[in-house]
Chain A
């Protein structure tokens, strides 16, 4: 039996939750709907799917180099994610499986880098990259985020449950240390890799500040750089803007919808 008070608490909980969910989904819904409407209708407050999607797409194709920006984003993000996962998983594996005092000490030093705000190293990094001619290049875009203490820690924590007997058995079978990582560890730890890859992919896809500095030419513009440029003029075509924002947002959102479990694991990461 529930008391009257309990019922009120429960219904208040549901009301609160529904309100929060509406607020949470509304801007997203509005973005998608706006992409199918004409600018003036959007501003008049139209909230239903319109008929201007094709026309907005046409405008986009004729005025904005969306395809090139999409390719730049995709290329940098995929390269960055693959490299980052490789480097950080190697390190996380190494720190845990070959654990000793010196390596623990090094790990603690690396963890300090989590406290360094990116804004603080941005200027010296820019100068460094301009000296070695890495400005305006895919490599220049991805290098600063290849190795992060967060990801190393994530792989180290997840390696704790990895059975050492498996490694011993692989050694007896004649695999060298790297082969053990590549052929035994990676397949067994596939879910960990998936979680790390999703979070890294989203982070790189969405990164804005560093690309703003390092990707200087139009030719190298990634989606966030291109899309933010669309509001620069006096009048903004909101239909076009929201179509481009939607195109930029959909890949990460689809990833989120299909891989929510891995996403949550990746976000919470090493905090267990």
Chain B
């Protein structure tokens, strides 16, 4: 409580209240109005962004749930309970899409993250020459559009494309191979494209993580006789754990939603051998006779998978 200045006493006494009490009251009232002004200003700053997210993410998510309980074509929807969710398990296309996405996930994400980790540790080396140039070249692919990378790889692996010309020139292939019509090769090429586009992106994260580790830690380890591989496994990996977890969750999230690349390299073919879940949602809603209710049910499976896999990765991350 601030001391009551002598000069104010006369004025305050006139109101018939004890001087000290009246004065403090005024101070508090002044503070409160200012505080409320600031508080309200704060809310005005955050509300537009919050509203956008509520209206354009959370609300559609709730809507998708109600939509997923309805069946029918176009806008002729009727309530059908859990029928859409039961239908999922008998739908060959949906099951193929889930299988494909998991194939991408299991092969692409670990390979890419491992590659990014190695690249980041090399690029973080203080003695490395031409560091800037190497970094620029490694990061370059993540400045190209997903669509561009898809079209470039599609052209290279076309029937009359560069890959066939080269392999035949080298005598490895006797006749041109139809890469994108072969289920296994089509998937490999999709994985290759995604890895090409995203390895540099993940390297950026790992490099930032590595730069936060004090070099003295490594020097101490070296003096204690640790080999480079030992310091990688015993120092780098544990200290990078949060970044690894983050990139793993982001990549998993991205792969489960894979769309641009597959849509433009194989369009899901041959058959449905490369089809992804996002593509299937797109087809159900905008290519076939629209089945918005069923598409919404498929949408929820992606959400559930993203949530479960993130949860599992966080649990594993805690234990490791």
Interface of A with B (CB < 8 Å)? 9-10, 13, 16-17, 20-21, 23-25, 27-28, 30-31, 34, 42-45, 87-88, 90-91, 93-95, 97-98, 100, 103, 106, 110, 113, 115-128, 143-144, 146-149, 152, 177-178, 181, 202, 205-206, 208-209, 212-213, 224, 227-228, 231, 236, 238, 241-242, 245, 248-249, 252-253, 255-257, 260, 263-264, 267-268, 271-272
A242 — which chain B residues lie within 8 A by C-beta?
Answer: 152, 155
Cβ of B7 within 8 Å of any chain A Cβ, yes or no, is no
Complex CA gap A267/B105 in Å reads 22
Binds A, one of B13-21, B55-63, B80-88: B55-63
Which one, A21, A88, A106, A231, contacts B154 given CB within 8 A?
A231
Instruction: Please tell me if the beta carbons of A13 and B125 are within 8 angstroms of each other in the complex.
Output: yes
Output the nearest chain A residue to B66 by Cβ-Cβ distance. A124
Q: Contacts A124-B296, A241-B151; is A116 near B196 (CB within 8 Å)?
A: no
Q: Contacts A13-B122, A16-B122, A245-B151; is A264 near B49 (CB within 8 Å)?
A: no
Binds A, one of B25-33, B162-170, B182-190, B213-221: B162-170
Which one, A43, A98, A110, contacts B39 given CB within 8 A?
A98
Complex CA gap A147/B50 in Å reads 8
B285-300 to A contact mask, C-beta < 8 Å, 1/0: 1100000100110011
Knowing that A123-B292, A127-B292, A205-B145 are A-B contacts, what are 16 other residue pairs whose CB atoms are under 8 Å apart, sorted by A's residue number?
A17-B123, A21-B134, A42-B155, A87-B49, A91-B48, A94-B41, A115-B253, A117-B299, A120-B299, A120-B303, A124-B64, A148-B53, A202-B143, A267-B204, A268-B204, A271-B246
Output the nearest chain A residue to B246 by Cβ-Cβ distance. A271
Cβ of B148 within 8 Å of any chain A Cβ, yes or no, is yes
Which one, A116, A208, A253, A271, contacts B57 given CB within 8 A?
A116
Instruction: Please tell me if the beta carbons of A27 and B139 are within 8 angstroms of each other in the complex.
Output: no
Q: Contacts A30-B162, A147-B52, A252-B143; is A120 near B196 (CB within 8 Å)?
A: no
Complex CA gap A57/B156 in Å reads 21
Q: Contacts A28-B141, A252-B144, A268-B208; is A17 near B152 (CB within 8 Å)?
A: no
Instruction: Please tell me if the beta carbons of A268 and B145 are within 8 angstroms of each other in the complex.
Output: no
Instruction: Please tell me if the beta carbons of B149 and A116 are within 8 angstroms of each other in the complex.
Output: no
A110 — which chain B residues lie within 8 A by C-beta?
Answer: 49-50, 53
Cβ of B43 within 8 Å of any chain A Cβ, yes or no, is yes
Instruction: Please tell me if the beta carbons of A120 and B49 are within 8 angstroms of each other in the complex.
Output: no
Instruction: Please tell me if the beta carbons of A121 and B64 are within 8 angstroms of each other in the complex.
Output: yes
Instruction: Please tell me if the beta carbons of B134 and A245 are within 8 angstroms of each other in the complex.
Output: no
Complex CA gap A146/B57 in Å reads 11
Complex CA gap A268/B136 in Å reads 16
B199 — which chain A residues lie within 8 A by C-beta?
Answer: 24
B196 — which chain A residues lie within 8 A by C-beta?
Answer: 23-24, 27
Q: Contacts A21-B138, A87-B52; is A119 near B299 (CB within 8 Å)?
A: yes
Which one, B56, B61, B122, contacts A147 given CB within 8 A?
B56
User: Which interface residue of B56, B59, B199, B243 has the most chain A CB atoms within 10 A?
Assistant: B56
Q: Contacts A9-B228, A94-B42, A256-B139; is A209 near B259 (CB within 8 Å)?
A: yes
Output the nearest chain B residue to A125 by Cβ-Cβ distance. B60
Instruction: Please tell me if the beta carbons of B50 and A118 are within 8 angstroms of each other in the complex.
Output: no
Which one, A25, A31, A44, A212, contacts B137 given CB within 8 A?
A25
